[in-house]
Amino acid sequence: MKGTIPDPGSQKLNWHKPPLTVLVIKKMHDENALSAFTQLVKWLIQEKNMAVYVEKAVFDDAMCSENPVCRGLQKQIKTFEEEKDELTNKIDFVICLGGDGTLLYASSLFQASMPPVMAFNMGSLGFLTPFSFQDFKGQVTQVLEGNAGLLLRYRLKCVICRKDSQMSKIPHVKQIQRSHSTIQSKTHMLVFNEVVVDRGQSPYLCNIDLYVEGKLVTTVQGDGLIISTPTGSTAYAVAAGASMVHPNVPAIVITPICPHSLSFRPVVVPAGVEIKIMVSPEARNSAWVSLDGRNRQEIFEGDSVRITTAQYPVPSVCAKDQMDDWFESLAECLHWNVRKPQKPMPTLIDSPSTNSLTGNSDSSS
């Protein structure tokens, strides 16, 4: 039997039709991001004839409302409100101006299929934002013409099932649909980086049971557990000791947070398996769940957090390619393997003393 090894270089941006609508996500309360935002939006409208969508909160911000250029653009822009307006079938292309958190927020707006996203670095770290804004016109034009590589970043599907609910009786989390009438938006989410289960403000250890494909594999006693995507492996997970996994690897990373055991190491499981987390019957307290650092909520005995790989990834536009972008981020943002170079061995120089020791003296006796 011969397997097929995927070629990372084969993932290219391919527009089925010319992009006509663009969503611009801007870092809030930042002067540099605001200046870039006004330049970009004005150029997209006037030069590229694109319909631009922007979150209403951007214009409610005092920094924007006091800017005459920003106020002038407001009449030419379509606005939306989070959790009120559905964007899935309206947007062809997404541009982010900010840091990694801006990209995480953009991902949360698309709880199904997401259009390609181009991220400009205007934040603190910029691990996920490979583009510089200096040459934004040339770079955006290249992307709009389809001349760019693409990285499909896996997301996690996370469903929080309450005790004795109908969802808890469904055999596999893959079979739970968002359109289910009993599902609330905060209990069914697509997650970009990680799902974190922790002890919250309790002074006691977190005591939670970990199931993989329905089998109890271990009980976690410690501060909590991180279930992350390969992209999320370089976020909270790496700070807790996980390996850094390239975003193109189909996997889920399971990382304990300060486990009360010297042998509990992070593990990597195949993408697509179901991971279920429940508060152990022997636990002294409840636990808390957060999804990409948001939607924090408490879970109790009998509740379950069910996780698998989502069928809708985030198509991230590459500045160079999948490998160069990732390794450059490791080196520049995390200073991966940075140390002073080792000095070479010193070169031995012939001298009379060394010659005499080796019996090569020219002196006569």
Please give the Cα distance from 250 to 42 (Å, whole number): 39
Mean pLDDT by 10 residues, the chain (365 residues): 78 93 95 94 96 94 88 92 88 97 96 96 91 96 96 97 89 83 72 98 96 98 98 97 97 98 97 98 97 96 97 97 96 94 84 54 48
pLDDT at residue 65, as a whole number: 85
The C-alpha angle with vertex 290 and arms to 286 and 294, in degrees rounded to 5, equals: 140
pLDDT at residue 85, as a whole number: 87
pLDDT at residue 242, as a whole number: 97
pLDDT at residue 184, as a whole number: 56
Please give the Cα distance from 69 to 46 (Å, whole number): 14
* Catalytic residue set: 100
pLDDT at residue 182, as a whole number: 53
pLDDT at residue 365, as a whole number: 44
Element (H, E) at 235: none
| Beta-sheet pairing, 93-98 with 117-121 | parallel
Residue with tokens 């010193």: 346
Residue 363 backbone class (left: φ over 0; alpha: ψ -120 to 50; beta: rest): beta
Which three-class secondary structure state does DSSP give residue 294?
strand
Whether 306 and 176 have beta carbons less than 8 Å apart is answered as yes
pLDDT at residue 76, as a whole number: 94
pLDDT at residue 8, as a whole number: 78
pLDDT at residue 7, as a whole number: 81
Whether 310 and 173 have beta carbons less than 8 Å apart is answered as no
